[in-house]
Amino acid sequence: MGIRFNQVTHEYASYSKVTYKAIHNISLSILEHDEFIALVGHTGSGKSTLAKHMNALIFPTSGTVEIFNNIITKKRDKKIKYNSIRKSVGLVFQFPEYQLFEDTVEKDIMFGPLNFKVSIEEAKKVALESLELVGLDESYLNRNPFNLSGGEKKRVSIAGILALDPEILVLDEPTSGLDPEGKNILMRLFKDIHKKTNKTIIIITHDMDLVYQYFNRVLVLKDGELSFDGSPERLFKSDILDKNHLDFPNTIKTLKHIKETMNLDINIYQKTVEDVIKELNRVTKNE
Amino acid sequence: MNSIIIGQYIPGKGFFYKLDPRTKIVAVLFLMIAVFMLENIAQLFMALGIALFILLLGRISIIKVIKGLKAIFVLLIFTFVFQVALNTEGKILSQANMHFNLYSVIGVVLAFIIWRLLVRVGKFKILMFIAFILGVYIILRYVNFGTDFYSFSLTIYEKGIEMSVFVVVRILIIITFTTVLTLTTKPTDLTHGIESLLRPLKKIGFNSEDFALIISLSLRYIPTIFDEAQKIMAAQASRGADFSEGKLKDKLKQIISLLVPMFIIAFMRSEELADAMESRNFVPGQPRTRINVLKFSMIDVYSGIFTLLCLAGAIVNKVI
């Protein structure tokens, strides 16, 4: 078993004794491989807090998180090597600026492996491999990470985590701030990594198009509570989205509109633009 | 980090929240001068009484202030120890040879280890620190068997004890005053007050508005930068650089991994801030109006009179 949440609640303390419940009573389990999960929810619903529990960056205020047989509770346990948990569950943060600090891309990617006592030669090898895994070539190794574009920085920061060779990869809004083309390239990259390595990948996102197109499991958070856990197909057929202030994918929205205004018999549940065109062609031919 | 309350404003209602920041700043300044003028312990304890009365008046819990003192407690203890050890006036209270021999050094090391172990599990860290220092004293004094490879005579004078209590209580009082000031005054009001007080200096070419702007901006960004630091630490911890684990040598490298992103983010933030201010037509040095104009009220007058009385009392006492 990879990660298991057992009635986890996390409260943030503030001055005036009023605590703020970021997540509340969450129970779920995530397999150690073969999963491709999207974590969605509107701003402030506790997605990032949930993600930080997955590699024990923060501890639950009540309940337990089980990560690769290490049981994380409220208190720091001397027997648990928290560093090694972070090696098995890699967490990539939303902004690469928080992570990049070395003067070359290579050194920056090597920072993680070197923290885990990998030899320098080995770390160099791993750095190149993970750089290629995120779709950048050798020429980037000696470039300064601060002179890269936003998308490239993001890839380098992801490579920095991939270099640790984690069993499970968690990404906090990797597609934010990218253009649609960049988003799709990055998503295909993750899907590729997932296929090649069988690693479980968990991605926080707002983009329902991506969720529908790429994922096979969705977790929906609402006000810190888990309100849905299942396939995107089931999610978009239910009425949960409306209750959670979330949007439908553009494909479904467009087809729904066409179906209602033109009164056609369309199967509105299409994942990609190509599927939409195919479906529309099918329907118009029949007419 | 949350336990440091020096310089932290806590919203609330009460006497001190209604006072004008200018009154508070000047009052703290005057009361501090008055405290420095006191000459003996009896007077100082009277001042401590006044400080407690002020806390009571403002309905500020003493526990909060004590918790805030944690950060400077080590400083207080050092002040105390040095005063006791180095002052050589008055009657001799005790004279003892301190022995450094094999057994006493082992004893000190053991005491140190026990202290560190206890600190890890226990709660009363400050009490343990005091106990540790006392323990070292006792060991050095009474473990006198074996050959000393070094020994010196530690003489404690009456005046030494008196002065150390004096200094520590004085620091306590001053910190209480400043804590009351910062606990009950918003940073913005504080800079407002400072600006208004420094305005006469414009005649000699010192622009208090710019000064106040610099201070309020830096105060405004302390929590933001602190937030960013925590995010960076989380990001680096995800790459195996956990600050609470690992050796000293690794920690040095980890500090660099924290500092570089900190600087870059701080520069980014300040550039963004400058752009945001300029796009809202901020021009440095131009006269500006305020939303909240500071006004003195009757309670300011009363507090002012009280402060002046305290200061006058201290001056009269000093002169006579």
- Summarised one tens digit per residue, pLDDT across range A142-196 is 999 989 988 889 889 999 999 998 999 999 988 887 788 888 888 888 998 898 8
CA distance B181 to B22: 11
In chain A, residues with a C-beta closer than 8 Å to the C-beta of B245 are 81-83
- Summarised one tens digit per residue, pLDDT across range A105-138 is 999 999 989 888 889 999 999 999 999 888 888 9
What is the crossing angle of helices A150-162 and A120-133, to 10°?
130
Residue B232 near chain A (CB below 8 Å): yes
Q: Measuring CA to CA, which residue among A228, A174, A243, A229 is closest to residue A206?
A: A174
Q: Can you say whether the dihedral through the CA atoms of A132, A135, A136, A138 is positive or negative?
A: positive
Nearest chain B CA: its distance from A63 CA (Å)? 22
* 8 Å CB contact of B242 and A112: no
Residue A130 near chain B (CB below 8 Å): no
Q: Which of A101, A108, A110 to mutate to test the interface with B (most CBs of B within 10 A)?
A: A101
Q: What is the mean pLDDT of residues B288-303?
A: 82
Residue B223 near chain A (CB below 8 Å): no
Structure tokens at A67: 């990560």
- Summarised one tens digit per residue, pLDDT across range B238-292 is 888 877 666 777 777 788 888 989 998 999 889 999 999 999 988 877 777 777 7
pLDDT for residue B63 is more than 80: no
Comparing CB atoms, the residue among B231, B245, B246 nearest residue A98 is B231
* Confidence band of B4 (pLDDT split at 50, 70, 90): very low
Chain B residue at shortest CA distance from A172: B235
CA distance A225 to A24: 5
pTM, 2 dp: 0.70
Nearest chain A CA: its distance from B98 CA (Å)? 39
Q: What was the pLDDT predicted at A17? A: 58
Residue A97 near chain B (CB below 8 Å): yes
Label residue B69 left, alpha or beta by phi (over 0 means left) and psi (-120 to 50 means alpha): alpha
Comparing CB atoms, the residue among A95, A97, A160 nearest residue B239 is A160
Residue A243 near chain B (CB below 8 Å): no
Q: What was the pLDDT predicted at B3? A: 39
Within 10 angstroms of residue B247's Cβ, the number of other Cβ atoms is 7
Q: What was the pLDDT predicted at B245? A: 65
pLDDT for residue B315 is more than 90: no
Chain A residue at shortest CA distance from B249: A115
- Summarised one tens digit per residue, pLDDT across range A28-38 is 999 888 899 99
Q: What was the pLDDT predicted at B122? A: 65
* 8 Å CB contact of A92 and B260: no
- Portion 158-187 of A in contact with B at CB < 8 A: 160-161, 164
* Confidence band of B59 (pLDDT split at 50, 70, 90): confident
| Residue corresponding to tokens 């600090």 | A101
| Residue corresponding to tokens 């006791």 | B84
Q: Can you say whether the dihedral through the CA atoms of A45, A48, A54, A57 is positive or negative?
A: negative
Chain A residue at shortest CA distance from B229: A98
The DSSP output letter for A148 is S
- Portion 246-275 of B in contact with A at CB < 8 A: 246, 250, 256-257, 259-261, 264-265, 268
How far is CA A229 from its chain centroid? 15
Weakest-pLDDT range from A227-231, B180-184, B235-239, B308-312: B180-184
Q: What was the pLDDT predicted at A18? A: 65
Chain A residue at shortest CA distance from B245: A83
CB pairs under 8 A between A and B: 71
Residues B104/B143, Cβ–Cβ less than 8 Å: yes
Per the prediction, chain A carries an average pLDDT of 87
* 8 Å CB contact of B245 and A83: yes
Q: Can you say whether the dihedral through the CA atoms of A43, A46, A51, A56 is positive or negative?
A: positive
Nearest chain A CA: its distance from B113 CA (Å)? 18
- Summarised one tens digit per residue, pLDDT across range A234-247 is 888 887 777 777 88
* 8 Å CB contact of A90 and B257: no
